């Protein structure tokens, strides 16, 4: 049990709460657009009794892709984590998990993700390779670009469009807009999280928005990204002609975005974890709940 706990901590399993709700939004949106029918491996539609199986596969794809990405990130960053006082307690630098075992875990999770994608349909199988490339390559980006926050957002943004494709087998504008929403939202709060490592990242020549622009300007950029996110919340609601439940969830989501920016100041980072984990975790779950409720009404 302790070994399982160490691996769950390695991949920060609790952080699945960020992207998983949007994957479910994409799934239910796809089910709505396909009028209760599911896209099959052979290019035909399946009756709704295949719903649970498809949903389980989508969830497994999310879990395996994210597990691969996080384990690989911890593997690549192990030397930096050993030097950073904030991260020395992580599993690899503390010796709880060997670096080689983390890499093996990454490979197993990657293969499992591709396998589950193939079980959904051919399109998801083909797209699983570029998707895996995006989520794994994020770990390298902070070594050469301050845009690493946007790459992280891009990786998580694959959740709604990927789950939509799993159901329908075709693209549509609304799930794409939800993906852009995730990019703005995740990039904004990741900049807030990166504030606490600004000095360390500078000393190691690592790149981030706080390193490039300083803490005050980084918070301004984070606010602008979350303003973009709020605009997308409104735009999706209008474009998709959603009902009351969507607007209730959307209002709550935007208010949580605003609240997290009241918690963090350039000279006071004591509430970064509250702003990063608690507000965003609650925001994503509540927003997704009301969006799905609206789709099922």
Band of pLDDT at residue 275, cut at 50, 70 and 90: confident
Q: Is the pLDDT of residue 35 over 70?
A: no
Q: Average pLDDT of 244-268?
A: 95
pLDDT attached to residue 49 = 58
pLDDT attached to residue 201 = 96
Q: Are 64 and 162 in contact (CB under 8 A)?
A: no
Number of domains in the chain: 1
**Which domain does 153 fall in, by range?**
2-296
pLDDT digits (tens, 9 = 90+) for 193-250: 999 999 999 999 999 999 999 999 999 999 999 999 999 999 999 999 999 999 999 9
pLDDT digits (tens, 9 = 90+) for 97-125: 999 999 999 999 999 999 999 999 999 99
Q: Are 40 and 46 in contact (CB under 8 A)?
A: yes
> Rounded to two decimals, what is the model's pTM?
0.92
Q: Is the pLDDT of residue 260 over 90?
A: yes
Main-chain phi, psi angles of 268, to 5 degrees: -140, 100
Q: Are 287 and 24 in contact (CB under 8 A)?
A: no
Q: Are 66 and 106 in contact (CB under 8 A)?
A: no
DSSP-derived secondary structure for 12-72: TGGGHHHHHHHHHHHHHHHHHHTTT-EE-TTSSEEPGGGHHHHHHHHHHHHHHHHHHHHHH
Strands (E), the chain: 38-39, 45-46
Q: Are 255 and 282 in contact (CB under 8 A)?
A: no
Q: How far apart are CA 113 and CA 98, in angstroms?
A: 23
Band of pLDDT at residue 76, cut at 50, 70 and 90: very high
* Region for residue 71 given its phi and psi (left: phi exceeds 0; alpha: psi -120 to 50; beta: otherwise): alpha
pLDDT digits (tens, 9 = 90+) for 130-181: 999 999 999 999 999 999 999 999 999 999 999 999 988 888 999 999 999 9
Band of pLDDT at residue 297, cut at 50, 70 and 90: confident
Give the CATH number for residue 83.
1.10.357.140
Band of pLDDT at residue 36, cut at 50, 70 and 90: low
pLDDT digits (tens, 9 = 90+) for 3-23: 778 777 777 767 778 889 999
pLDDT attached to residue 9 = 73
pLDDT attached to residue 4 = 77
């Amino acid at each position: 049990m302790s070994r399982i706990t160490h691996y769950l901590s390695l991949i920060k399993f609790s952080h699945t709460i960020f992207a998983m709700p949007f994957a479910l939004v994409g799934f239910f949106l796809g089910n709505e657009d396909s009028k209760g029918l599911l896209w099959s491996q052979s290019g035909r539609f399946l009756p709704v009794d295949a719903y649970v199986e498809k949903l389980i596969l989508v969830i497994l794809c999310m879990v395996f892709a994210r597990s691969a990405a996080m384990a690989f990130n911890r593997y690549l960053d192990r030397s930096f984590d050993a030097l950073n006082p904030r991260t020395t307690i992580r599993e690899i630098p503390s010796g709880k998990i060997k670096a080689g075992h983390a890499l093996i875990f990454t490979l197993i999770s990657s293969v499992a993700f591709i396998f589950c994608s193939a079980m959904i349909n051919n399109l998801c199988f083909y797209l699983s390779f570029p998707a895996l490339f995006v989520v794994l390559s994020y770990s390298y980006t902070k070594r050469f670009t301050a845009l690493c926050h946007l790459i992280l957002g891009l990786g998580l943004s694959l959740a709604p469009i990927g789950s939509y494709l799993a159901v329908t087998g075709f693209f549509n504008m609304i799930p794409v807009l939800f993906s852009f929403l995730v990019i703005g939202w995740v990039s904004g709060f990741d900049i807030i999280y990166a504030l606490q490592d600004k000095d360390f990242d500078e000393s190691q020549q690592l790149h981030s928005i706080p390193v490039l622009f300083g803490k005050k300007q980084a918070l301004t950029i984070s606010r602008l990204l979350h303003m973009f996110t709020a605009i997308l919340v409104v735009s999706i609601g209008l474009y998709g002609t959603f009902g009351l439940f969507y607007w209730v969830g959307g209002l709550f989501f935007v208010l949580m975005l605003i609240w997290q920016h009241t918690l963090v100041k350039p000279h006071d980072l004591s509430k970064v974890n509250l702003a990063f984990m608690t507000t965003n975790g609650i925001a994503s779950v509540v927003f997704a709940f009301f969006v799905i409720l609206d789709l099922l009404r």
